Amino acid sequence: MEPIVIDKDEGLVFQSEDELYAHFAKEITVLETEFFKIRGSNDIKEQNFEQYDTQLEKLLDDPDEVWEDSDTLAKRRMFIYVRRFETNVTHVAACYLTDSTPSFVYLHFPTIDEALVTQYRRGQMVFQRSALDVLPGAIDGDALHEGDDLALGLYKAMLLLRSEKDISEEDFHLFADNREETLEDADEIWRSSDSLGNVLVSFIKEFGDEDEFSYVVVTVEDAPSGSHALLFSFPTRDKGLLDRYRHGENLQAEEVVQESSH
């Protein structure tokens, strides 16, 4: 059996599901105790939860809101995903994130009780769907500008863990001219595959002397041709965020075929 990898950098690698759930048992117990204490008696019955399980994947891929809760679990940040479905059911999931992606779900549930949902809107809101109706980070020629689902999902994931002190998203357009230079003369190029099998290639280049920043261009690789389609790009001074794009295979520039716009 293959190990279950939640967060390799934090040593969260497990040999079985039993070992995995034993490790997170305390956190799960805290959250389940709270949930059953505050939920109303007229809400969706627990025995009916299973019929809403298909909503979980949609929630994690495309939430309406994401909240960062640093208080409930004493030693861990927790991210709470919220999405309202057409059935007037809201699904909530409390998650552990690895590289800005949910890698473990402590607790999730459907509810028709808006007051219960409000209880989970706590901490700091780090994403709201309406805030991305107009995307400051979209640049003409990239997939984000065209509303591509893959680009949008990865862009939203990047925004989740971006430092508040980093370059403002509203100022991304001021750095757009750095995109081509980053693609043509990158300091680093990293290739990795996501959970859906997309091969992502990230180009990173450092700029500036006194006002130092790095620019990142994220592309998706076409397997047959080896060419790349632009997904999105952004400037950053956040070393932690930058490190999240330094994973997978470290490529030499000559191995990469000329990029093409989406």
Domain co-membership, 105 together with 179: no
Please state, in angstroms and rounded to a whole number, the distance separating the CA atoms of residues 251 and 246.
Answer: 11
Instruction: Read off the pLDDT of residues 157-210 as tens digits, 9 standing for 90 and up.
Output: 999 888 889 999 888 988 999 999 999 999 999 999 887 888 999 999 999 876
- Residue 261's pLDDT is what? 45
Domain co-membership, 72 together with 23: yes
Kindly give, in sequence order, each residue whose CB lies less than 8 Å from that of residue 101, ignoring residues fewer than 6 positions away. Answer: 157, 195
Q: Which pTM value belongs to this model?
A: 0.54
- Residue 134's pLDDT is what? 53
Domain co-membership, 184 together with 145: yes
Instruction: Flag whether pLDDT at 140 surpasses 90.
Output: no
Instruction: Flag whether pLDDT at 256 surpasses 60.
Output: no
Domain co-membership, 53 together with 71: yes
DSSP 258: P
More confident position, 79 or 135: 79
User: Residue 7: exposed, middle, or buried by beta-carbon count in 10 A (0-12, 13-18, 19+)?
Assistant: middle
Cross-strand partners of 191: 201, 249
Instruction: Read off the pLDDT of residues 23-48 as tens digits, 9 standing for 90 and up.
Output: 999 999 999 999 999 999 999 999 99
Domain boundary among 113, 131, 149: 131
Domain co-membership, 105 together with 175: no
- Residue 262's pLDDT is what? 44
Report the length, in residues, of the chain.
Answer: 262
Q: What is the DSSP string of 173-208?
A: GGGTTHHHHHHHS-SEEEEEE-TTS-EEEEEEEEE-
Count Cβ atoms below 10 Å from residue 66 Cβ, excluding itself.
Answer: 25
- Residue 259's pLDDT is what? 46
Q: Which two tokens stand for residue 156?
A: 């939203």
Instruction: Flag whether pLDDT at 146 surpasses 80.
Output: no
Q: Do the Cβ atoms of 155 and 236 come closer than 8 Å?
A: no
Domain count, the chain: 2
Domain co-membership, 117 together with 199: no
Q: What is the DSSP string of 100-117?
A: TEEEEEEEEEEES-HHHH
Instruction: Flag whether pLDDT at 149 surpasses 70.
Output: yes
Domain co-membership, 61 together with 178: no
Domain boundary among 131, 160, 176: 131
- Residue 210's pLDDT is what? 66
Domain boundary among 114, 131, 148: 131
- Residue 254's pLDDT is what? 54
DSSP 35: H
CB crowding 70-99: b at 16 or more within 10 Å, else e: eebbeeeebbbbbbbeeeeebbbbbbbbbb
Instruction: Read off the pLDDT of residues 54-102 as tens digits, 9 standing for 90 and up.
Output: 999 999 988 989 999 999 998 789 999 999 986 789 999 999 999 889 9
Domain co-membership, 117 together with 202: no
Residue 112 structural domain: 4-131
Kindly give, in sequence order, each residue whose CB lies less than 8 Å from that of residue 209, ignoring residues fewer than 6 positions away. Answer: none
pLDDT category at 260 given cuts 50, 70, 90 is: very low
